[in-house]
Amino acid sequence: MIFTSPEFVGFALAFAVLFAASWGTPRRVLLLAASYAFYGAWDPRFLALLAGSTLLDFFVARALHGAAEPRRRRLLMVSVAGNLGVLALLKYYGFFVDSARELLAGLGLSVSPPVLELVLPVGISFYTFQTLGYTIDVYRRRHEPTGSLLDFANYVSFFPQLVAGPIERASRLLPQLARIGQRGRGDLSGWGFIALGAFKKVAIADNLGAFVDVAYAEPGLTHAPMLLLATYAFAVQIYCDFSGYSDIAVGLGRLMGVELMQNFHAPYAAIGPRDLWRRWHVSLSTWLRDYLYIPLGGSRGGRWAVQRNLMITMLLGGLWHGAAWHFVVWGAFHGALLVLARAPGASRLADRVPVVLRRLVFFQVVCVGWVLFRAATLTDARTVLVRVLDPRQWDLAAWMQLVHESDALGYVRVIAGVVLAVVGVQLLTALDTASLVRRLWRAPWVVRLYVVAGLLYGAMLLAPEQPPPFIYFQF
């Protein structure tokens, strides 16, 4: 049940008919039933955790309202321990146990910790952060607890963004879902987001992904030019895959009269690390800022305190992406970039460089990070970086001969062209999906119709035989 599957198309059509024919409380009940049906299609067992998280934070938030301070802190800890405890058990138990076993084995100690066969529910990291953010906001008295369990359940399980975000704030999404029963609130510009998102995911990301998978499967046996091109291709793949999901989610929300936040703002137009996190996965970066970085002390205190807060935030942000050391190192890499960007004189030095050149140079730095993210292990990441960055590994003549002998020259040219086009547009224009849709929706309706239909047809025409799931479903 992914947005680009035939099953989802059938589900969406049935839901659209019923949604249009209902209003008021029945429409809100329909939305909740559809969201639970959508999520239960992955695995019915996941519904118990989703419902449990919903009930926990709904009643904790209600109890927080008007409670005295000592009891408020205890209630908040119930929510934090309940949400993060389940997440840690299901997502990180095996990682921490295996890491501890390897560490003890290196010290000459042999242990056999219990092995738990656990299934990681799709999207648990996203809805856990969303419900936890709501409870923290109520604790901080930034949001009044809702009295409607139905509206709160819709807030947690809203199917367009349930399994891969964006991670919405209660102050933004809850009031909209409370009004979703009103008739005539849909925004047809949602079709523009859906069409662009589907094309990015199916036509671009999925086809690039096949190339990236081959190159990264055995990096020690892959020619350096192919590894470099595959690294650039992955940068485009993960952007088109994840932002494609977010675009479709935003589009579906708009058709229902719900405005979801824009999760991407042309990230490869970033001129530095701070700018990158204002553009990439904005809902997560702002969540980490508001609920982790600032409570740690944020930018207050001395230089070392700020650097510590940045590194802790990015290390945990890396770990959020997956239970593996290469994700932790990826987080540390971006933490180090943020620390360096705050070094004395760094901003003045960077300001002397033309903006387009800063974007181009920083994109190369981001791609170094993508090697850490994409490689299966830290050993593979090291192999890729050594083969790409060491001039002695570059045997262009042998690589070109191999490409010609395998009749792959045209394929390689297409891959390189797609990468250059996607990255080039961002570097030169900094246009994001929202800007493109706004421009499209100012055109005559017939132009809109042809563009949307053309993008959707192109997505179907260029789709692989078996489109893979969205990358961020694993997180």
CA 423 to chain centre: 19
- Residue 134 in domain: yes
pLDDT in the model for residue 95: 83
List residues with catalytic annotation: 321
How far apart, in whole angstroms, are the C-alpha atoms of residue 430 and residue 427? Answer: 6
Judge if the upstream peptide bond of residue 114 is cis by omega within 30 degrees of 0: no
Q: Can you give the residue range of the structural domain that contains 144?
A: 6-178
- Residue 183 in domain: no
In the structure encoding, which two tokens stand for residue 366, read together? Answer: 């981001």
How far apart, in whole angstroms, are the C-alpha atoms of residue 285 and residue 232? Answer: 23
pLDDT in the model for residue 1: 64
In the structure encoding, which two tokens stand for residue 371, read together? Answer: 């090697």
For residue 12, give the nearest of 38, 42, 41, 43 by alpha carbon: 38
Contact between 224 and 199 (Cβ < 8 Å): no
- Residue 100 in domain: yes
Helix 396-405 with 224-255: angle, nearest 10 deg: 60
Contact between 167 and 213 (Cβ < 8 Å): no
- Residue 445 in domain: yes
Phi, psi of 388 (to 5 degrees): -80, -40
CA 110 to chain centre: 38
Residue where one domain finishes, among candidates 132, 151, 178: 178
Number of C-beta neighbours around residue 261 at 10 A: 19
Phi, psi of 120 (to 5 degrees): -85, 115
Instruction: Based on the fold, state whether residues 402 and 466 are members of the same structural domain.
Output: yes
The SS3 call for residue 401 is helix
Where would I find the H helices in 322-377?
325-341, 346-351, 355-374
Instruction: Based on the fold, state whether residues 240 and 315 are members of the same structural domain.
Output: yes
Instruction: Based on the fold, state whether residues 39 and 134 are members of the same structural domain.
Output: yes
Instruction: Based on the fold, state whether residues 402 and 430 are members of the same structural domain.
Output: yes
pLDDT in the model for residue 210: 92
pLDDT in the model for residue 150: 96
Instruction: Based on the fold, state whether residues 167 and 206 are members of the same structural domain.
Output: no
How far apart, in whole angstroms, are the C-alpha atoms of residue 167 and residue 153? Answer: 15
Instruction: Based on the fold, state whether residues 73 and 211 are members of the same structural domain.
Output: no
In the structure encoding, which two tokens stand for residue 239, read together? Answer: 């952007």
The SS3 call for residue 110 is coil
Number of C-beta neighbours around residue 431 at 10 A: 14
- Residue 185 in domain: no
Residue segments in the chain with a per-residue pLDDT below the cut of 70: 1, 184-185, 405
In the structure encoding, which two tokens stand for residue 328, read together? Answer: 């932790």
CA distances from 463 to 233, 369, 450 (A): 17, 28, 19
pLDDT in the model for residue 351: 80
How far apart, in whole angstroms, are the C-alpha atoms of residue 447 and residue 232? Answer: 33
Instruction: Based on the fold, state whether residues 122 and 214 are members of the same structural domain.
Output: no
Instruction: Based on the fold, state whether residues 402 and 365 are members of the same structural domain.
Output: yes
Instruction: Based on the fold, state whether residues 77 and 17 are members of the same structural domain.
Output: yes
Residue where one domain finishes, among candidates 117, 150, 178: 178
How far apart, in whole angstroms, are the C-alpha atoms of residue 157 and residue 28? Answer: 12
- Residue 1 in domain: no
The SS3 call for residue 455 is helix
Instruction: Based on the fold, state whether residues 130 and 156 are members of the same structural domain.
Output: yes
pTM of the model: 0.93
- Residue 415 in domain: yes
Instruction: Based on the fold, state whether residues 160 and 208 are members of the same structural domain.
Output: no
CA 447 to chain centre: 31
How far apart, in whole angstroms, are the C-alpha atoms of residue 206 and residue 212? Answer: 10
How far apart, in whole angstroms, are the C-alpha atoms of residue 35 and residue 27? Answer: 12
Question: Degrees (nearest 5) of the Cα angle 126, 82, 291?
Answer: 55
- Residue 377 in domain: yes
Half-sphere exposure of 370 (CA within 13 A, CB side): 22
Instruction: Based on the fold, state whether residues 130 and 194 are members of the same structural domain.
Output: no
How far apart, in whole angstroms, are the C-alpha atoms of residue 47 and residue 53? Answer: 10
Number of C-beta neighbours around residue 166 at 10 A: 26
Number of domains comprising the chain:
2
Residue where one domain finishes, among candidates 138, 157, 178: 178
